[in-house]
Amino acid sequence: MIRDYRAPRFSGGQGARRRERFPRLARLLKLFGVLLLLGGTTAGAWEGYRAVVHLPYFRVAEIQVEGNLQVAAQDIIAGLGLAAETSILEVDLRALARRVLENPWIKEASVRRRLPLSLTIRVVERMPEAVFIADRRYLLSADGVILSELDPEELPTLPTLRAAGPRRVSIGERILSSEMAQGLSVWRQFQLANALQGERAHEMAMAGDGSYVVNLGQRMPVIRLRAQDMEGQLRRLGAALSASGQALERFADVDLRFRDRVVFRPAGEALARP
């Protein structure tokens, strides 16, 4: 009789499961070691970069300002708020430009690096177009930004735009109400239309009914007009003066708000309400 003395084969068991578990653990340990190595290398590179960036050699040594006429370069540079040890490689150029724009006199700003150690700030400034009277007197830009407050002793040569009623405003505030935007538009149209005649508005006030009152200064009449059809109103004024044979300074008040006529009030007469 032939017997088979070979050990029986087992499809599984505790010993086999133990042998399978050790190679997995080894692979996990190896992967963990690789991750630690990569993390250490990255951290070391980052710390090395920071150490290089903060070397005294890379500190901002010069800041140049271009395009400024109204605002001193020192004031623009001070507004950046840069620390003395700031690195040229670390500055956020867009953030610096936003800081420059916090000055109401600055309309546009850009900042760029000029390696190795310089920054250049290029600005476009706002220009005052009128004196705006609200609760106080302010300088007003063409795009409706309150630039600064005027001292009572200051007498600027700029024309005056008066609000319809007292209101409180703050420096740097952009006044974009329809009333203000229309007032500035009327102001520019009137100045342009009268440039050839030599008459320049001294003060323009916004009336409660949506019309405007223009003061041309001493020995000149007050002109009342609407914001719409400025050219047509001034054309009717010229035709009426030509037909009457009188000079504009002979009148105290001229009302252009009517579509079919011009109302004159001679100097010395009481103002009649139309």
Question: Among the ranges 17-21, 59-63, 70-74, 207-211, which has the highest mean pLDDT value?
Answer: 70-74
Among 50-59, 65-74, 156-165, 260-269, whose mean pLDDT is lowest? 50-59
In this model, does residue 217 exceed pLDDT 80? Answer: no
Among the listed residues 104, 160, 156, the one whose alpha carbon sits nearest the alpha carbon of residue 131: 160
Residues 195, 183: Cα–Cα separation, whole Å: 18
Q: How many CA atoms lie within 13 A of 196 on its CB side?
A: 5
Cα 220 from chain centre:
38
In this model, does residue 263 exceed pLDDT 80? Answer: yes
Give pLDDT, residue 269: 60
- DSSP class of residue 95 equals H
**Confidence band for 274, pLDDT divided at 50, 70 and 90:** very low
**Confidence band for 236, pLDDT divided at 50, 70 and 90:** confident
**Confidence band for 226, pLDDT divided at 50, 70 and 90:** confident
Strand residues in 58-142 grouped as ranges (E): 62-66, 106-114, 118-125, 128-133, 137-141
Could you tell me if 185 and 227 are in contact, meaning their C-beta atoms sit under 8 angstroms apart? Answer: yes
Average pLDDT, the chain: 76
Among 65-74, 140-149, 156-165, 226-235, whose mean pLDDT is lowest? 156-165
CB atoms within 10 A of CB 75: 12
Chain region(s) in the chain for CATH 3.10.20.310:
56-125
Beta bridge partners of 141: 128
Interior CA angle at 185 toward 181 and 186, to 5°?
Answer: 120
What homologous superfamily is domain 56-125 in, according to CATH?
membrane protein fhac (3.10.20.310)
In this model, does residue 50 exceed pLDDT 60? Answer: no
Task: Enumerate residues 6+ apart whose C-beta is below 8 A from 22.
Answer: none
Residues 73, 70: Cα–Cα separation, whole Å: 9
- Radius of gyration from C-alpha coordinates of the chain: 38
Amino acid identity at 175: I
In this model, does residue 239 exceed pLDDT 80? Answer: yes
At 141-197, the pLDDT tens digits run: 888 899 999 887 776 777 788 776 777 888 999 886 666 666 677 767 776 665 445
**Confidence band for 71, pLDDT divided at 50, 70 and 90:** very high
Among 47-61, 140-154, 176-190, 252-266, whose mean pLDDT is lowest? 47-61
Give pLDDT, residue 153: 75
For residues 183, 187, 188, 193, the Cα torsion angle rounded to the nearest 10 degrees is 130
Give pLDDT, residue 124: 96
User: What SS3 state is found at 97?
Assistant: helix
Residues 251, 224: Cα–Cα separation, whole Å: 13
Percent of all residues in the chain with a pLDDT value above 90, rounded to a whole number: 19
In this model, does residue 122 exceed pLDDT 90? Answer: yes
Residues 147, 160: Cα–Cα separation, whole Å: 14
Domain 128-266, CATH number (from 3.10.129.10, 3.30.420.40, 3.90.1150.10, 3.40.50.11690): 3.40.50.11690
Residues 87, 118: Cα–Cα separation, whole Å: 10
Give pLDDT, residue 120: 93
Give pLDDT, residue 56: 61
Chain region(s) in the chain for CATH 3.40.50.11690:
128-266
The helix (H) or strand (E) run that includes residue 53 is helix 14-53
